[in-house]
Structure 1
Amino acid sequence: MTHHNFIQLKLQSRQQAGNYRWLKPENSLVDFCSNDYLGFARSGLLAKLIQEEISKYSSINGSTGSRLISGNTEYAESLEQLIADYHKAESGLLFNSGYDANIGLLSSLPQRHDTVIHDELAHASIIDGIRLSNAARFTFKHNDTDSLEQKLKAAKGLIYVIVESVYSMDGDQAPLQAISQLCKQYKAALIVDEAHALGVFGKGLVNQLNLCHEVFARVMTFGKALGAHGAVVLGSTELRSYLVNFARSFIYTTAAPLHQLSVIKMGYAFLANSTSIITELHQKIELYRRSINFSSRVTDSKSAIQTVIIGSNDATKKAAQTLQQQGFDVRPILSPTVAVGSERLRICLHTYNTDEEIIQLTNLIKEYLHAR
């Protein structure tokens, strides 16, 4: 077999399984699929603030190197501390994406004789990072604290527990208070990925639940509700120094340029004054929840992420196509991204979705489910 034949066979296998992926350009459909929950990415006012911020500084176009060589700036370090203070953390370290942050943190921190326990629905970046660490890896049943405790009892070495505060495929929330208590009981370090909570729940659920001092590390990503790009790992000053020395996805990558850092900074400034925008989003979420009529196929989520379980890749793709033909950009989530049998429509709600659009969408979904 040649290298070319291997690639062809793997792609054919994907096509036969109905989960072949391809890139699609932007479209003119009503957006019910992006992570721009608060509309920051399309905000003209925020864009103006970013431009004003950039104009204050004389900067070359790129960062020219990694932060350990030529890419570090006082601007980056002050931004890290600003974000840390905002979230009531001691320190923070910027990464170029949420994936990079999880890879860097989880591949460097746990060691071969340690134990990492994560929710079975944890994001791929969490799983990939743990695998690179060579630590023992265990999963517990989704949001099941009894299952978590069983794994904690069997754990050896230093113990790390990793969850998401809001899960990206179901939109449900982790029972952070109960998980935090278990981690304290078993002397485990709790790490929380707040990617889909930041903005939607203000500063995130860890802040909202007053768990800042109970959580060992947090990952905040900026490419969702903040309308920017990149991520930060929040924790102690010692943790920051550790990551600077051992996190390969930080050490061996080019630093973010001033423009990206400015977008993040202004995104946070905008978020700090966005109480009414957040309230508006939750009103949209409640409208969707009232309109959809819960059933075994509809997940009970109070976040901006809502899902409708269809089952099978082909049926889910057809359901998405039906909605797209009616003008609504809803995307199918297929196996192996989710478990076989749980293929679903993932619906993201935004402040810029009108009430009429939300009601029209829910009516179409109910009609489709009834027809099946």
Structure 2
Amino acid sequence: MALKRKLNFIDLELEKIRKNNLYRTLRYGKATKADIIIDGKKLLNLCSNDYLGLPITKIQINQLQSSSRLVSGNDKSYEKLENILAKHKSQQKSLIYPTGYMANLGTISSMANKGDLILSDELNHASIIESCKLSNAKVMIYKHNDMKDLKKKIKSKAKNKFIISEGVFSMDGDYSLLDEITEISEKNNAITIIDDAHGDFVVGKDGKGTPSHFNVAKKIDVYISSLSKGLGSFGGYVASQNNVIDLCINKAKSFIYTSALPSFLVEHALKRIETNREKQKKRLEKNTLQLSKGLKKIGYEINSKTQIIPILIGDEKRSLDFGKFLFKNGIYAQPIRYPTVPKNQARLRISVTAWLTKTDIDYTLDIFEKGFKRF
């Protein structure tokens, strides 16, 4: 009984979350191409990060790693994939982590130390925020894509300066102003780190990412990215010059003290990266344009120029009601609420994929038009 009383505060916290319409529950579903089946109901999936929808490849499972790569879990396939990823980013070397989140944690906390200054965009992903906290460096948040604020805050006598930003912002779907960021970085002798999880393999020449889209690829010092978004596989990686990767191998706790990514997943990523992605890339661009134009025509305010299209609702409860309406009508698009986004900035986050057909898009627009009139 004493233990139960001790934990009563948890119930109060949960009640507060429910009262603010921020309570979350897990939904179990099986995704297949453009659809997802939840509780036996087939829905059009607008929550997938498998943007390019590359062909599904069956891989023979030969080995499941159960050890750190520094112990006995370093399969030869890692070397091949890391060489390809380094070349993909025009860098000397790359390093694979089990997830993109762990790639940020390990890389940023290994590079930045006490006495250094990190300048981080206010809309950066949670993994970047946590990584900055772990680094022991001084962290200053600059207003989203506000270059005046960045210029003001970078004036410092810190030992090392880091500018960290996403390439494509995961909740707003807009681009980081990398042409201006790299210019500011050069003038202030800062190190530029870009998390390009949502731009990698999707935008830029040959899918090389957001810096390629802005023609500043050579000005980025450290690339951090994901294998589970545009590539539709699993894992994360960092690409940079040799000494940065060596530092991560020797210092990054999220690399050293965890089991290696299973080799069959490395092989799966290899199959995906060797796939001709250009056709799917063009199809994704076409689908994104059609859906964006259609939503604007209905009356929605759409500012995104990428495959991530947020529809700002504002009120948390209204966003939940809109989500339920979509679900009832065969569309799966999750409401995104605080703390993922600021309070009263709840939204429906649409992820466009190459899986979608013209029929899918027409149906989506029809339902969103009904939702616009209703909500």
Alpha-carbon RMSD: 1.8
Task: Work out whether 1:136 is the aligned partner of 2:138.
Answer: yes
What residue number does 1:11 align with? 14
What residue number does 2:218 align with? 213
**Residue 103 (structure 2) aligned to one of 101, 104, 107:** 101
Q: Are the equivalent residues in 1 in contact too, given 2:295–2:302 (CA < 8 A)?
A: no
Task: Work out whether 1:246 is the aligned partner of 2:251.
Answer: yes
Q: Structure 2 vs 1, CA of residues 168 and 188 (structure 1 numbering), >3 Å: closer, same or farther? A: same
What residue number does 1:115 align with? 117
The sequence identity of aligned pairs, in percent, is 31
Q: Are the equivalent residues in 2 in contact too, given 1:89–1:212 (CA < 8 A)?
A: no
Work out the CA distance in 1 between the residues paired with 2:364 and 2:240: 41
What residue number does 2:185 align with? 183
Q: Are the equivalent residues in 1 in contact too, given 2:82–2:96 (CA < 8 A)?
A: yes
Specify the SS of the correspondent of 2:291: helix
Amino acid at match of 1:237: N
1:170-319 alignment, distance < 5 Å: 170-201=172-203, 202-270=207-275, 273-293=276-296, 298-319=301-322
Work out the CA distance in 2 between the residues paired with 1:159 and 1:88: 23
TM-aligned CA deviation for residue 228 of structure 1:
0.7
Specify the SS of the correspondent of 2:218: coil
Which sits farther off after the overlay, 66-75 or 282-291?
66-75
TM-aligned CA deviation for residue 164 of structure 1:
0.7
Q: Structure 2 vs 1, CA of residues 283 and 113 (structure 1 numbering), >3 Å: closer, same or farther? A: same
Q: Deviations over 1:229-265 (max 9, x none)?
A: 1011010100010001111000100011210110111
Which sits farther off after the overlay, 348-357 or 300-309?
348-357
What residue number does 1:36 align with? 50
Specify the SS of the correspondent of 2:237: strand
Work out the CA distance in 1 between the residues paired with 2:130 and 2:264: 29
**Residue 355 (structure 2) aligned to one of 352, 357, 362:** 352
User: How many residues align structurally?
Assistant: 358
What residue number does 2:33 align with? none
Amino acid at match of 1:11: L
Q: Are the equivalent residues in 1 in contact too, given 2:122–2:142 (CA < 8 A)?
A: yes
Work out the CA distance in 2 between the residues paired with 1:86 and 1:337: 31
**Residue 80 (structure 1) aligned to one of 75, 79, 82:** 82
Q: Deviations over 1:152-190 (max 9, x none)?
A: 124622100001110100111111111101000011100
Specify the SS of the correspondent of 1:138: strand
Q: Are the equivalent residues in 2 in contact too, given 1:298–1:307 (CA < 8 A)?
A: no
Work out the CA distance in 1 between the residues paired with 2:304 and 2:141: 22
Q: Structure 2 vs 1, CA of residues 152 and 294 (structure 1 numbering), >3 Å: closer, same or farther? A: farther
Q: Deviations over 1:81-112 (max 9, x none)?
A: 12101221111011000100011112221111
TM-aligned CA deviation for residue 362 of structure 1:
2.5
What residue number does 1:326 align with? 329
Q: Are the equivalent residues in 1 in contact too, given 2:298–2:369 (CA < 8 A)?
A: no
Work out the CA distance in 2 between the residues paired with 1:295 and 1:181: 39
Work out the CA distance in 1 between the residues paired with 2:370 and 2:161: 48
TM-aligned CA deviation for residue 5 of structure 1:
1.8
Work out the CA distance in 2 between the residues paired with 1:100 and 1:155: 30
Q: Which runs of 5+ in 2 are unaligned?
A: 30-37
Amino acid at match of 2:307: A
Work out the CA distance in 1 between the residues paired with 2:225 and 2:298: 32
Work out the CA distance in 1 between the residues paired with 2:6 and 2:151: 46
Q: Are the equivalent residues in 2 in contact too, given 1:200–1:303 (CA < 8 A)?
A: no
Specify the SS of the correspondent of 1:29: strand
Q: Which runs of 5+ in 1 are unaligned?
A: none
Q: Structure 2 vs 1, CA of residues 105 and 294 (structure 1 numbering), >3 Å: closer, same or farther? A: farther
Q: Deviations over 1:124-166 (max 9, x none)?
A: 0000010011111111111111111111124622100001110
Work out the CA distance in 1 between the residues paired with 2:140 and 2:364: 39
Q: Structure 2 vs 1, CA of residues 151 and 166 (structure 1 numbering), >3 Å: closer, same or farther? A: same
Q: Deviations over 1:169-225 (max 9, x none)?
A: 011111111110100001110000110012221121223434232111011201112
